[in-house]
Structure 1
């Protein structure tokens, strides 16, 4: 009898041990759902240009502009040509060797288009803005060295906005000047903000749908935001390799509620919202089914559909890459 009881007790204990063992086993691992923490990229839509000095070739890409029909204008500092490609990435022509007796195109790092597809270029060695039609014919130019109204000391970034307005970043005078599209001076505002160091150089400028302006301060690795009257609102940015850090910012562009900045050192495009909050970093794109990292990105532009145009200048490569406005993840 006792033997039977002992056997029964042992059986119950074994059953309980097996049951507890099953309950303590970890659940089967579940494959995580991809989230926005993965590397973002924009789909490759095409490219134009190759390395060289012949027509359709590029050497030193310093600025990009896109007009209303998505024609692409590329300023090449080495050759001092403006190269035009159509929206199918086909080379059209270039100009810059003669400007109706006004000499060669000067040294520049910014180019833009107005709503009529005219092209504007700042020439910082000649301290002026030059206006062309879309066929490359010179229409006008204005500016000279100085600090008075309408004068420049190293003009750089420029933007056309509204129906008849342009703003130009005047680097050494530390200001932004406003003109109409015929070059008539209208107003200005200072780029100096309390706490700025002596070395304080600004470059690109963009405008949002509310009329606020954003100016890239490349020497101090930050973006400054001003209202439509030129009143300072805020600034953000740092020279670091942290998310949103920009040790060598080069160009700024805008689409909707996103600001885009190329950083040459980190080889990325950084996206912020309009209040300066970091959104994400674009490190590459897919071309032919293969993911590629950006290669020495520098010049930057965005078209009216939000597609991104960025220059690449790796060994043996000089081209403009067009990326879709839709963000995807690896």
Structure 2
């Protein structure tokens, strides 16, 4: 049974499966955020759920289990950090849990099972533990595996010529670079600014060397460390003439500075001529030029071009 799609009896990413005492089959679809019910022959019977955080909605339901003795279904709602409880027809009964690492709190719960007493066991992908509850969601116990997670590490952010807000130059991360020091709070890597450049990301070594780090990258270092910004130089923008001061046989041109320019080319032509090679090439600190070969009655035109090591901008 089944095919790809979002219609009745179709799936996008079926993940968990459970069978009740009648032989009915329940399947979670983590990407369609719903549960479908079938008979033992694969005939579609029912569905419930949609993407969201209200009662009966889901954000990535993975596992599912059925309490046949009491007629209940339990579903770990991973990104909502909770467990939802339904009857066998999909009617919402209750829910428990919130984001965190305390008793009864979760960080991406993705597995669920029952014992013969009806107690509920929930595994968590990020907190590296299993918690035990009674059928009403009351916390009973917890235990962790042997995985050790380092304490929150200080991460220095080196903008490599750009700017990062002073409050964000040193941050603390726990499991991933998109989590705060509590391992839960989303605290994304900041985006620095640098005039004339495009930010390409954070890397473990300077100048774009090493590994690129994003908000979903796991923190694997066991020590405080530094991340480095990578930049790509933009083409310079088109210079703007700030003023023109004309004399009898000369004219002084002044233009505005372009932040990422290494220098400027100035071109000249008469009304009947054409632009050739630059009449002068200046460095970035020179923002004016006086041309002293004007001829009365002859119209003269000028254009200025900014350049840097990546290339040249258009003419103005």
TM range (shorter): 0.3 to 0.5
Of structures 1 and 2, the one with the larger relative CO (CA 8 A, separation 6+) is 1
More helix by share: 1
TM-score, normalised relative to structure 2: 0.44
Mark the structure with the bigger radius of gyration: 2
